[in-house]
């Protein structure tokens, strides 16, 4: 069985082992694959694994020996799952590996916004504290989280993990989800979406990207938020109308934003958020702790092993034996 990994570097830049996958078949691992090279590299493979290298219908149809597609991530929009289904090719993902790491990144951004840690540390490195006439200084308001309201949009695993951290900081938690969980965590209140935007001091996005959620954060929604509110997005960049958010930040409609995702990644240099006021952007790394990547790799290998055993797991397009 020939296995090809099209873009393994992001998942495993060298600190993890591919041994478990290599034990399952003849394995070729590429760090990165350009779109024009995908067919040539995957040709002849029965199993193809991809992270962000796209597999559209025209590519899938040309891979005549292909039997299985594994996505090395939770989101699988880079694969034409309908085309794969028509060809009876199962597509799998890795749904739960990064819950705690992503929730942790929410608070990395939030604590930076409320304490401006990076800025103040940089001024100390620049020698400003050494020259200060006072024993301390701060350039922005320092905000205590206890007593503030955390609003969570999308209340699945990651949303609920974020809620638990917010509660530990003494925050009140309100949440919205199109489908309320069967059991609402203690101390959390489910509210209408409009109430999240109106009442929250911090809004954290954790919903999937669908036609209904694309540009969910619009000029209209931003206008209903508190001027002191912060927006955090560790989910999908296209949940936000980026020009609307840049305008809201530059006009002080809201106080700040912490983003780990953008609509186009890597971003275009003209993306308005890159220079927006009090907008802090990290390069889609919430998922990338070593612990989370190791879990991802292990589940991806288990997915391949399950397919080879005739009992595929984590299938996202309904193709089963």
Q: Residues with catalytic annotation?
A: 236, 265, 284
- The closest alpha carbon to 82, from 96, 61, 63, 62, belongs to 61
CA 64, CA 44: separation in Å to the nearest integer? 7
Check: CB of residue 207 under 8 Å from CB of residue 216: yes
Check: CB of residue 53 under 8 Å from CB of residue 78: yes
CA 244, CA 216: separation in Å to the nearest integer? 11
CA 151, CA 165: separation in Å to the nearest integer? 13
Centre a 10 Å sphere on the Cβ of residue 126 and count the other Cβ atoms it contains. Answer: 10
CA 115, CA 108: separation in Å to the nearest integer? 11
Check: CB of residue 258 under 8 Å from CB of residue 112: yes
CA 146, CA 171: separation in Å to the nearest integer? 5
CA atoms within 13 A on the CB side of 73: 22
């Amino acid at each position: 069985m020939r296995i090809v990994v099209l873009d393994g570097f992001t998942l495993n830049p060298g600190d993890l082992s591919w041994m478990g996958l290599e034990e399952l078949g003849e394995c070729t691992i590429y760090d990165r694959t350009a779109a024009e090279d995908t067919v040539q590299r995957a040709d002849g493979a029965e199993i193809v694994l991809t992270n962000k290298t796209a597999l559209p219908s025209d590519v899938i149809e040309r891979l005549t020996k292909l039997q299985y597609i594994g996505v090395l991530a939770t989101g699988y929009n880079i694969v034409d799952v309908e085309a794969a289904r028509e060809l009876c090719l199962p597509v799998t993902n890795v749904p739960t590996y990064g819950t705690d790491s992503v929730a942790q990144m929410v608070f990395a951004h939030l604590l930076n916004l409320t304490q401006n840690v990076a800025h103040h540390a940089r001024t100390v490195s620049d020698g400003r504290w050494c020259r200060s006439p006072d024993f301390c200084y701060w350039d922005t308001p320092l905000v205590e989280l206890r007593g503030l309201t955390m609003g969570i949009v999308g209340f699945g695993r990651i949303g609920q993990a974020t809620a638990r951290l917010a509660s530990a900081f003494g925050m009140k938690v309100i949440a919205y989800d199109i489908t309320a969980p069967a059991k609402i965590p203690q101390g959390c209140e489910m509210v209408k979406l409009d109430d999240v935007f109106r009442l929250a001091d911090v809004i954290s996005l954790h919903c999937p990207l669908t036609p209904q959620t694309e540009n969910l954060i619009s000029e209209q929604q931003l206008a209903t938020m508190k001027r002191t509110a912060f927006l955090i997005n560790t989910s999908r960049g296209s949940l936000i109308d980026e020009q609307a958010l840049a305008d809201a930040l530059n006009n002080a409609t809201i106080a700040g934003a912490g983003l780990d995702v953008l609509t186009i990644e890597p971003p275009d240099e003209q993306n308005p958020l890159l220079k927006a006021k009090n907008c802090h952007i990290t390069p889609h790394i919430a998922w990338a702790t070593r612990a989370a990547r190791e879990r991802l790799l292990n589940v991806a290998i288990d997915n391949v092993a399950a397919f080879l055993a005739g009992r595929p797991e984590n299938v996202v397009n309904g193709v089963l034996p």
